[in-house]
Amino acid sequence: MEKLSYPQDEEKLKDVIDNAKTQKGIDIAIEHLPYEENREYYMQILSGNDYRKKKHIVETYPQAQEELLEIALDESNDIQTRMRAGMYAGNSKKAQEFWIDLAMNYWDIYTRMTAASMIKDKSLIPDIQKQRCAEGNHLWVDTGSRRQQYQFGPSSDHRKCIYCGEELHEYFDGD
């Protein structure tokens, strides 16, 4: 690969990011294309489905994580947009509080389960969850294998509460 540099090769760098066959080529191009000057371009990638590119962008440019966290916290965005942004918003206290809030309060069981699975710091879960667990309102996560989740969906009987550890042993069909 020829040596490309910013700003004279900006379009070529974007072309490499969009079309390169190897992850290494994409990674090198991302490192050479500054975030601030190309923010809109990077936000298009971050709102897309290429997880490897997203991961490298947020690892290379911490300000991208901060912007994704802002998108996740903005309640005017739809839930899918918020969750996709939250997946790459890091593990800061604010990001963890976003997932905890969704896991405890969102109406859809599958969204709550996905959110619960993103909680890394269980110490941030409010004490009220202890009472909620006693009432049977757990923070379920699907512990089934990927194959089971693919075959049966997240309503398989492989569930565990990330807060109290209780396991679900019967078929569960939502709330």
pLDDT at residue number 142: 80
Helices (H) and strands (E) in the chain, counts: 10, 3
Distance CA 31, CA 89 (A): 19
pLDDT in tens, the chain (175 residues): 567 888 888 899 999 999 988 889 899 999 999 999 999 999 999 988 888 899 999 999 999 999 999 999 999 999 999 999 999 999 999 999 999 999 999 999 889 999 999 999 999 999 999 999 999 999 988 876 655 555 555 555 678 899 999 987 655 455 4
Distance CA 84, CA 134 (A): 31
pLDDT at residue number 134: 95
pLDDT at residue number 109: 87
Q: Cβ atoms within 10 A of the Cβ of 131, count?
A: 10
Tell me, what DSSP letter sits at residue 68?
A: H
Tell whether pTM > 0.75: yes
Cis before 34? omega within 30? no
pLDDT at residue number 170: 58
Distance CA 87, CA 90 (A): 7
